[in-house]
Each structure stands twice: as structure tokens, then as C-alpha cells.
Amino acid sequence: MTLSNVFSRTFWAHLLKRLIVACVLAQSIALPAIAESESAFSLQGFGTLGVARTTTDDVEFVRDLSQPRGIGKEWSPLVDSVLGLQGAWRIDPQLEAVLQVTSRYRYDQTFYPEVAWAYLKYDLTPNLSLRAGRLGTEFFMMADSRWVGYSFLAARPPGDYFWYLPFYSIHGADAAISVPLGENTIRAKAFYGHSNGQIPLADEQWEIAGSPMIGGYLEYQMDAWQLRASYANIKFKNDLPISAVMRKLIGRGMTGAEAAFLSARNTRTHYYSLGIVYDQGPWQAQLMLNHIEQGSNALESSDGGYLLAGYRVDQVTPYLGYSWVLSRQHGKPLNALAAYVMEDSHSEQQTTFLGMRWDVAKSIALKAQWDLVRGDSTSIFPYRQDHRETWNGKMDVFTLTMDFIF
């Protein structure tokens, strides 16, 4: 599918029509903001119009592994653009129904809108809430608001940290509790459910729907400081579509031994993370660390992290960040084919990124960012369509975005 197809007139006309209908509905439903009339319905939205380019055509740059193709030296709106609409219906003071629909470049190379979340939320007490339905997952801190560009400082969530996280939602339930501890707060959340979605691999899809996920976090909020430790795991229900990819690539599928060696079915991957956030006055700073322990030989385990700091001057916030990821092989590859597959999941790079967020008008932020990716030539997992012979592991990424909420 080409870009012109993705951005075809009919598609956007269709989306625009939906949006207009939704806005008109919102106007007629949402009452003016008078405290006394707590309207039962609300309709809100978010979006990003972004363009980005890199300095190489040796690999295609993606935002995370949910994107089947990426961008090269040409300016492209593919990786960062998104539109989301969220409707909420307060059924009674304790019970709320929420539906979020988003349109972004996804696994099947389209912007076809999909239901991101659809759930019921019940507040057992003001500080204890339960949710059930299709829910966003918070494998890492802020992972469930990764597409709401307006809500964060940088142009996009640091790739070295978030590439490995193509999971967005589960069909399941979660519970969140807040416990005030003097002036501080402890928060905890636990979730369980079945994954929902596909992860693209070359021209194939890795079906992860039905894979059970479980996880949670513990968080301590102390004035301007927020500390969080989280853990999650997923047990994959299906194998990676390696055989199909290999058949196209080298003209043969895998032998039984190879398939067994590289099998992902019934293996469990563990995600550990630690986050520290400081947010007060003009300062914002974040330090995040993660460790991913893969259960399958086909995927390398990895350690990643990032450091980000920004200082607001009036409506402009310049920021500076540094992120890294390093993966390592599980054991000795079975043979040349297995080695090839295992090398495909290697990442070894650091990125320095600097940029500026300008809150230009109410609910609109403009951002410009420059990423300097400096890695090893073997670092190919984060990318698509790699040319291993010429890729040297180094590139710059230039990004311009307009984030908005409504």
C-alpha cells in the first residue's frame, strides 16, 4: 500500500464526515460548563498532525513495533499522525461508560479507525475504582497515553524505551486504588486480561489476540516527586510468523528443529520498569528504566531507559533527552537460519534528542525535535525494511508536530 492510498481522499472525507457528525453531536449533548449541570455525556478528542524524516534510506524509522512500515529521507506524516475521539457517559455517580476511537497508522498499513478502549468504570469508593472491558495497558509508565501528544513534553515517546511495546489494550479488568499517607499518596493498580491485536513482521502478522497478560504497579507520590515500579507479563498464544517470512525471503520454510528452537508459543515475556518523575514550577524531569526478559529464543532480551528534562520559559519549553537500548542473545543459535532470525531482534543504540514545545494557543502545542541516533550497525530490531549491508547504525530524525485536544 502506498502513501497516496493511505491518505486517499475518500478515506479522509470519510473520517472528516465522522468527525463533523461527532462534533455536532457533542455540541448538542455537552452543556455549557456550569458546575450545577454535571452533564451525563461528554465528548472529547485529541490529535497530532506530524511530519518527520530521517537522514538515511537504509532502514525505515517507526514509532513502535505496531507500525509495519516507516519513514526515510522524505518528509512523511506516517509515524506520528493520529486522531482520537472519546465519549463518556456517566450513568450514575459511581458508574461511567467510556468509548475511545482512534485513527493512526496501524499493523495493516491503513489508518482505519479502531476502538482503542471500551469499558465500564465503577468507583467502589472515591479512591478505589474497577474497570472492565477493552482497556489500555500500562506496561510502562505513561504507556496508555502514548498517542496523546498534547499530554507530554517531547514530540514522541522515546523510541529506545517504547519500541518494544506494541501492545495497547486488553480484554479484561483492572483495579486502581489510592491511599493517602499524610500528605503523600500511594497508588496501586493491577490488571488481567487477554491481549488484543496483531504485530506486523515483514509482510506477515503476529497474532497476539488471546494471549493472557497480567501486571500492575506500585506508585508513591511525594509532593512534586512520583516514583513507580511496575511489572507485567504476557504469555504468547501463537508463534511468530517466521516460517512464512523465510519462505518469501530464502524460498524455504523452517525445519521442525528450527521451528521448535525459535518457537514463541506458550513462552512468557516479562516486563520490569522503574520510573521517577519530577514536576514542579517550570521544571519537568523524567528518568525511566526497563528490563524485558523474552521467553523465546527468537527475541533478544533487552535493557532500556531514558532521561528527559525540560524548563518552561513563558509558553516555550525547551527540552533535552537521552535514551538507550541494549539487547542480548539468549544462547547459541541452532544454525545459520536461526542466527539470522535472532540477529533480527538485536538493538544496540543511544539517542540524544533535543527539542522545543511551544504552547501556541489554548489546547494547541507545536513541537520541533531533533533525534541523533547513534548505534551499532547490528541494531536493526527497532526498524523496518533494513538493508543490513549498508546500515551503519547512525541517523538523525527531524520531527515537527502540532498536538491538540478538543
Partner 1 sequence: MKLRHLFLVFALSWLVLQPAAEVRAELVVVVNARCGVAAMTRNEVVNVFFGRNRQFFNGIEAQPVDMPDAHPDRARFYSGLVGKDISEVNAYWSRQVFSGRMQPPPKASTTEDVLKWVISHPGGIGFIDLSKADARVRVVYELTP
Binding footprint of partner 1 on the chain (CB under 8 A): 32-36, 38, 42, 44, 46, 84, 86, 88, 96, 98, 100, 117, 119, 121, 125-127, 131, 135-136, 138, 142, 144-145, 148, 150-152, 176, 178, 180, 183-185, 187, 221, 223-224, 280-282, 312, 315, 359, 362-363, 365, 405
- Residue 177 CB, shortest distance to partner 1, in Å, is 11
DSSP line for 100-157 = EEEEE--TTSS---EEEEEEEEEEEETTEEEEEEEEE--SSTTGGGTT-GGGSSSSS-
Burial of 149 (0-12, 13-18, 19+ CB in 10 A): buried
What's the angle, vertex CA 40, arms to CA 39 and CA 42, rounded to 5?
80
Nearer to partner 1, 189 or 384 (CB): 189
- Residue 184 CB, shortest distance to partner 1, in Å, is 8
- Residue 223 CB, shortest distance to partner 1, in Å, is 6
- Residue 130 CB, shortest distance to partner 1, in Å, is 12
- Residue 291 CB, shortest distance to partner 1, in Å, is 23
Burial of 13 (0-12, 13-18, 19+ CB in 10 A): exposed
Q: Which amino acid is at 191?
A: F
Nearer to partner 1, 46 or 381 (CB): 46
Contact 302, 273 (CB under 8 A): no
Contact 400, 79 (CB under 8 A): no
Nearer to partner 1, 195 or 351 (CB): 195
Please give, one letter per residue, the 3-state secondary structure of 1-70: CCHHHHCCHHHHHHHHHHHHHHHHHHHHHCCCCCCCCCCCEEEEEEEEEEEEEECCCCCEECCCCCCCCC
Give the up-direction half-sphere exposure of residue 401: CA atoms within 13 A in the CB hemisphere.
32
- Grouping H, G, I as helix, E, B as strand and the rest as coil, residue 243 is helix
Nearer to partner 1, 92 or 389 (CB): 92
Nearer to partner 1, 129 or 345 (CB): 129
Nearer to partner 1, 44 or 238 (CB): 44
- Residue 101 CB, shortest distance to partner 1, in Å, is 12
Q: Which cell numbers hold the place of 338?
A: 536461526
Q: Which helix (H) or strand (E) holds 329?
A: none
- Residue 136 CB, shortest distance to partner 1, in Å, is 6
Nearer to partner 1, 11 or 311 (CB): 311
Contact 284, 228 (CB under 8 A): no
- Residue 179 CB, shortest distance to partner 1, in Å, is 9
Nearer to partner 1, 176 or 338 (CB): 176
